[in-house]
Structure 1
Amino acid sequence: MANMAKVLKDEISRIAKRELRADIVLIKKDTARLKRDIAALKRRLNVVERDNRQLAKQAAKTETVEKAEAPTAPLPTPDEGELKRFRPTGRTIITLRNKLGLTQGALGKLLGVTAQSVYQYETREGRLNLRPPTKVALARIRKIGKRQARKLLGK
Protein backbone atom coordinates (compact mmCIF):
# COMPACT_ATOMS: atom_id res chain seq x y z
CA MET A 1 0.00 0.00 0.00
CA ALA A 2 2.85 2.37 0.82
CA ASN A 3 4.35 1.61 -2.57
CA MET A 4 1.03 2.43 -4.25
CA ALA A 5 0.85 5.80 -2.48
CA LYS A 6 4.39 6.62 -3.55
CA VAL A 7 3.68 5.68 -7.18
CA LEU A 8 0.48 7.74 -7.16
CA LYS A 9 2.27 10.69 -5.61
CA ASP A 10 5.08 10.51 -8.21
CA GLU A 11 2.56 10.29 -11.06
CA ILE A 12 0.62 13.31 -9.79
CA SER A 13 3.88 15.25 -9.46
CA ARG A 14 4.93 14.33 -13.02
CA ILE A 15 1.56 15.34 -14.52
CA ALA A 16 1.55 18.60 -12.57
CA LYS A 17 5.06 19.44 -13.83
CA ARG A 18 3.99 18.74 -17.42
CA GLU A 19 0.98 21.06 -17.08
CA LEU A 20 3.06 23.78 -15.45
CA ARG A 21 5.73 23.47 -18.13
CA ALA A 22 3.18 24.45 -20.82
CA ASP A 23 2.08 27.47 -18.77
CA ILE A 24 5.68 28.48 -18.04
CA VAL A 25 6.55 28.39 -21.76
CA LEU A 26 3.68 30.81 -22.46
CA ILE A 27 4.77 33.07 -19.60
CA LYS A 28 8.38 33.06 -20.86
CA LYS A 29 7.21 33.99 -24.37
CA ASP A 30 5.07 36.83 -22.99
CA THR A 31 7.96 38.04 -20.81
CA ALA A 32 10.37 38.04 -23.75
CA ARG A 33 7.86 39.92 -25.92
CA LEU A 34 7.27 42.49 -23.17
CA LYS A 35 11.01 43.00 -22.70
CA ARG A 36 11.40 43.62 -26.44
CA ASP A 37 8.50 46.09 -26.34
CA ILE A 38 10.03 47.92 -23.37
CA ALA A 39 13.40 48.16 -25.15
CA ALA A 40 11.71 49.52 -28.28
CA LEU A 41 9.77 52.07 -26.23
CA LYS A 42 12.96 53.18 -24.47
CA ARG A 43 14.62 53.72 -27.84
CA ARG A 44 11.64 55.74 -29.08
CA LEU A 45 11.61 57.77 -25.86
CA ASN A 46 15.30 58.61 -26.26
CA VAL A 47 14.70 59.76 -29.84
CA VAL A 48 11.72 61.90 -28.81
CA GLU A 49 13.62 63.45 -25.89
CA ARG A 50 16.59 64.26 -28.14
CA ASP A 51 14.30 65.85 -30.73
CA ASN A 52 12.53 67.78 -27.98
CA ARG A 53 15.83 69.20 -26.70
CA GLN A 54 16.83 70.23 -30.22
CA LEU A 55 13.47 71.91 -30.84
CA ALA A 56 13.67 73.70 -27.50
CA LYS A 57 17.10 75.07 -28.42
CA GLN A 58 15.83 76.21 -31.82
CA ALA A 59 12.77 77.83 -30.23
CA ALA A 60 14.95 79.66 -27.72
CA LYS A 61 17.19 80.97 -30.50
CA THR A 62 14.18 82.05 -32.57
CA GLU A 63 12.58 83.69 -29.54
CA THR A 64 15.78 85.62 -28.79
CA VAL A 65 16.00 86.87 -32.37
CA GLU A 66 12.32 87.87 -32.40
CA LYS A 67 12.68 89.70 -29.08
CA ALA A 68 15.67 91.60 -30.40
CA GLU A 69 13.87 92.63 -33.58
CA ALA A 70 10.29 93.08 -32.37
CA PRO A 71 10.41 96.30 -30.32
CA THR A 72 12.45 98.28 -32.85
CA ALA A 73 9.97 98.00 -35.75
CA PRO A 74 7.25 100.57 -34.85
CA LEU A 75 9.67 103.23 -33.57
CA PRO A 76 10.90 106.19 -35.62
CA THR A 77 14.16 105.48 -37.45
CA PRO A 78 17.04 107.86 -36.74
CA ASP A 79 19.00 109.16 -39.73
CA GLU A 80 22.72 108.51 -40.27
CA GLY A 81 23.85 111.95 -39.10
CA GLU A 82 21.88 111.65 -35.91
CA LEU A 83 23.39 108.23 -35.20
CA LYS A 84 26.92 109.59 -35.71
CA ARG A 85 26.25 112.47 -33.31
CA PHE A 86 24.59 110.23 -30.73
CA ARG A 87 27.16 109.31 -28.06
CA PRO A 88 25.40 107.47 -25.24
CA THR A 89 26.92 107.31 -21.77
CA GLY A 90 25.93 105.48 -18.62
CA ARG A 91 24.26 108.65 -17.40
CA THR A 92 22.24 108.83 -20.66
CA ILE A 93 20.87 105.33 -20.03
CA ILE A 94 19.93 106.16 -16.42
CA THR A 95 18.23 109.41 -17.45
CA LEU A 96 16.31 107.73 -20.27
CA ARG A 97 15.19 104.88 -18.02
CA ASN A 98 13.99 107.30 -15.34
CA LYS A 99 12.22 109.45 -17.93
CA LEU A 100 10.32 106.43 -19.24
CA GLY A 101 9.75 104.99 -15.76
CA LEU A 102 11.16 101.60 -16.74
CA THR A 103 13.07 98.91 -14.91
CA GLN A 104 16.39 97.70 -16.22
CA GLY A 105 14.69 94.54 -17.46
CA ALA A 106 11.98 96.49 -19.28
CA LEU A 107 14.51 98.78 -20.94
CA GLY A 108 16.50 95.70 -21.87
CA LYS A 109 13.45 94.24 -23.62
CA LEU A 110 12.99 97.43 -25.62
CA LEU A 111 16.68 97.47 -26.58
CA GLY A 112 16.86 93.74 -27.29
CA VAL A 113 19.45 93.12 -24.55
CA THR A 114 19.38 91.62 -21.06
CA ALA A 115 18.79 93.46 -17.80
CA GLN A 116 22.40 92.67 -16.88
CA SER A 117 23.58 94.52 -20.00
CA VAL A 118 21.53 97.58 -19.04
CA TYR A 119 23.09 97.47 -15.58
CA GLN A 120 26.56 97.29 -17.14
CA TYR A 121 25.76 100.25 -19.41
CA GLU A 122 24.56 102.33 -16.46
CA THR A 123 27.60 101.67 -14.29
CA ARG A 124 30.17 102.25 -17.03
CA GLU A 125 32.00 105.58 -17.09
CA GLY A 126 32.31 107.65 -20.24
CA ARG A 127 31.05 106.94 -23.72
CA LEU A 128 29.48 103.54 -24.35
CA ASN A 129 30.67 101.49 -27.29
CA LEU A 130 27.40 99.77 -28.22
CA ARG A 131 26.75 97.35 -31.05
CA PRO A 132 24.99 98.99 -34.01
CA PRO A 133 21.56 97.35 -33.48
CA THR A 134 21.58 98.34 -29.81
CA LYS A 135 22.68 101.87 -30.62
CA VAL A 136 19.90 102.24 -33.22
CA ALA A 137 17.33 100.87 -30.76
CA LEU A 138 18.54 103.28 -28.07
CA ALA A 139 18.35 106.23 -30.49
CA ARG A 140 14.77 105.22 -31.39
CA ILE A 141 13.67 104.78 -27.79
CA ARG A 142 15.00 108.24 -26.90
CA LYS A 143 12.21 109.74 -28.99
CA ILE A 144 9.27 107.98 -27.31
CA GLY A 145 7.32 108.74 -24.14
CA LYS A 146 6.08 106.70 -21.21
CA ARG A 147 2.80 105.70 -22.87
CA GLN A 148 4.42 104.41 -26.02
CA ALA A 149 7.08 102.57 -24.00
CA ARG A 150 4.41 100.80 -21.96
CA LYS A 151 2.47 100.00 -25.13
CA LEU A 152 5.59 98.46 -26.70
CA LEU A 153 6.12 96.36 -23.58
CA GLY A 154 2.50 95.22 -23.65
CA LYS A 155 1.54 96.69 -20.28
Structure 2
Amino acid sequence: MSNFNSVLKAEIARVARKEIKNAIDPVRKANANHRREIAELKRQVLTLQKEIRSLGKASRVTTPVAADSGTTTRFGAKGLKSLRARLGLSAADFGRLVGASAQSIYNWEAGKAVPRASQQAALASVRGLGKREAAKRLDALA
Protein backbone atom coordinates (compact mmCIF):
# COMPACT_ATOMS: atom_id res chain seq x y z
CA MET A 1 0.00 0.00 0.00
CA SER A 2 2.78 2.38 0.76
CA ASN A 3 4.16 1.84 -2.76
CA PHE A 4 0.79 2.82 -4.25
CA ASN A 5 0.67 5.97 -2.07
CA SER A 6 4.16 7.07 -3.13
CA VAL A 7 3.42 6.43 -6.82
CA LEU A 8 0.15 8.39 -6.61
CA LYS A 9 1.88 11.24 -4.77
CA ALA A 10 4.67 11.37 -7.39
CA GLU A 11 2.14 11.38 -10.25
CA ILE A 12 0.14 14.21 -8.65
CA ALA A 13 3.34 16.22 -8.19
CA ARG A 14 4.34 15.61 -11.82
CA VAL A 15 0.96 16.72 -13.17
CA ALA A 16 0.97 19.77 -10.89
CA ARG A 17 4.45 20.80 -12.12
CA LYS A 18 3.30 20.40 -15.71
CA GLU A 19 0.22 22.56 -15.14
CA ILE A 20 2.21 25.21 -13.30
CA LYS A 21 4.79 25.28 -16.11
CA ASN A 22 2.04 25.72 -18.71
CA ALA A 23 0.55 28.57 -16.68
CA ILE A 24 3.88 30.32 -15.98
CA ASP A 25 5.57 30.04 -19.41
CA PRO A 26 3.58 32.89 -21.05
CA VAL A 27 4.28 35.12 -18.05
CA ARG A 28 7.98 34.24 -18.20
CA LYS A 29 8.15 35.07 -21.92
CA ALA A 30 6.29 38.35 -21.42
CA ASN A 31 8.66 39.23 -18.59
CA ALA A 32 11.70 38.58 -20.80
CA ASN A 33 10.22 40.77 -23.57
CA HIS A 34 9.49 43.56 -21.11
CA ARG A 35 13.03 43.42 -19.76
CA ARG A 36 14.42 43.67 -23.32
CA GLU A 37 12.19 46.64 -24.08
CA ILE A 38 13.18 48.37 -20.83
CA ALA A 39 16.87 47.86 -21.58
CA GLU A 40 16.42 49.29 -25.08
CA LEU A 41 14.53 52.29 -23.71
CA LYS A 42 17.26 52.90 -21.14
CA ARG A 43 19.87 52.88 -23.91
CA GLN A 44 17.80 55.37 -25.91
CA VAL A 45 17.41 57.66 -22.88
CA LEU A 46 21.17 57.61 -22.26
CA THR A 47 21.98 58.50 -25.87
CA LEU A 48 19.41 61.31 -25.84
CA GLN A 49 20.78 62.67 -22.56
CA LYS A 50 24.30 62.67 -24.00
CA GLU A 51 23.04 64.46 -27.10
CA ILE A 52 21.24 67.08 -24.99
CA ARG A 53 24.38 67.67 -22.91
CA SER A 54 26.54 68.09 -25.98
CA LEU A 55 24.03 70.46 -27.60
CA GLY A 56 23.76 72.45 -24.37
CA LYS A 57 27.52 72.81 -24.13
CA ALA A 58 27.80 73.80 -27.77
CA SER A 59 25.14 76.50 -27.44
CA ARG A 60 26.65 77.89 -24.22
CA VAL A 61 30.20 78.20 -25.53
CA THR A 62 29.70 80.88 -28.17
CA THR A 63 26.70 82.43 -29.79
CA PRO A 64 27.53 84.70 -32.74
CA VAL A 65 25.12 87.59 -33.14
CA ALA A 66 25.15 90.25 -35.83
CA ALA A 67 25.57 93.74 -34.41
CA ASP A 68 24.27 96.91 -35.98
CA SER A 69 27.63 97.61 -37.60
CA GLY A 70 27.48 94.40 -39.60
CA THR A 71 30.16 92.60 -37.58
CA THR A 72 29.51 89.62 -35.39
CA THR A 73 30.14 89.52 -31.66
CA ARG A 74 30.63 86.39 -29.69
CA PHE A 75 29.19 85.83 -26.26
CA GLY A 76 30.66 83.51 -23.70
CA ALA A 77 29.55 83.24 -20.10
CA LYS A 78 33.12 82.69 -18.94
CA GLY A 79 34.31 85.80 -20.80
CA LEU A 80 31.57 87.94 -19.28
CA LYS A 81 32.47 86.76 -15.81
CA SER A 82 36.15 87.53 -16.34
CA LEU A 83 35.31 90.95 -17.85
CA ARG A 84 33.24 91.89 -14.81
CA ALA A 85 36.01 90.65 -12.49
CA ARG A 86 38.63 92.60 -14.47
CA LEU A 87 36.59 95.78 -14.14
CA GLY A 88 36.05 95.10 -10.44
CA LEU A 89 32.30 95.72 -10.63
CA SER A 90 29.40 94.12 -8.83
CA ALA A 91 26.70 92.51 -10.92
CA ALA A 92 24.37 95.42 -10.16
CA ASP A 93 26.94 98.02 -11.26
CA PHE A 94 27.86 96.05 -14.36
CA GLY A 95 24.17 95.70 -15.16
CA ARG A 96 23.67 99.46 -14.92
CA LEU A 97 26.67 99.94 -17.19
CA VAL A 98 25.24 97.73 -19.94
CA GLY A 99 21.55 98.42 -19.30
CA ALA A 100 20.50 95.17 -17.67
CA SER A 101 19.51 93.94 -14.23
CA ALA A 102 21.88 92.27 -11.78
CA GLN A 103 19.89 89.04 -12.07
CA SER A 104 20.35 89.06 -15.85
CA ILE A 105 24.10 89.41 -15.35
CA TYR A 106 24.12 86.43 -12.98
CA ASN A 107 22.07 84.34 -15.44
CA TRP A 108 24.35 85.26 -18.34
CA GLU A 109 27.45 84.36 -16.32
CA ALA A 110 25.93 81.05 -15.24
CA GLY A 111 25.05 80.22 -18.85
CA LYS A 112 21.34 80.00 -18.03
CA ALA A 113 20.46 82.79 -20.44
CA VAL A 114 21.97 84.59 -23.43
CA PRO A 115 21.74 88.35 -23.91
CA ARG A 116 19.75 89.78 -26.80
CA ALA A 117 21.53 91.35 -29.77
CA SER A 118 21.09 94.88 -28.42
CA GLN A 119 22.49 93.82 -25.06
CA GLN A 120 25.39 92.05 -26.76
CA ALA A 121 26.20 95.28 -28.57
CA ALA A 122 26.33 97.06 -25.20
CA LEU A 123 28.56 94.30 -23.83
CA ALA A 124 30.88 94.65 -26.83
CA SER A 125 31.21 98.37 -26.20
CA VAL A 126 32.24 97.70 -22.59
CA ARG A 127 34.90 95.12 -23.50
CA GLY A 128 37.63 97.65 -24.22
CA LEU A 129 37.08 99.72 -21.07
CA GLY A 130 39.44 99.90 -18.15
CA LYS A 131 38.50 100.26 -14.49
CA ARG A 132 38.71 104.05 -14.50
CA GLU A 133 36.65 104.50 -17.65
CA ALA A 134 34.01 102.07 -16.33
CA ALA A 135 33.85 104.03 -13.05
CA LYS A 136 33.49 107.32 -14.98
CA ARG A 137 30.61 105.91 -17.04
CA LEU A 138 28.89 104.64 -13.88
CA ASP A 139 29.26 108.07 -12.26
CA ALA A 140 27.78 109.67 -15.37
CA LEU A 141 24.82 107.30 -15.22
CA ALA A 142 24.20 107.99 -11.53
TM-score, length-normalised on structure 2? 0.48
TM-score by length of 1: 0.45
- RCO higher in structure (CA 8 A, sep ≥6): 1
Larger Rg: 1
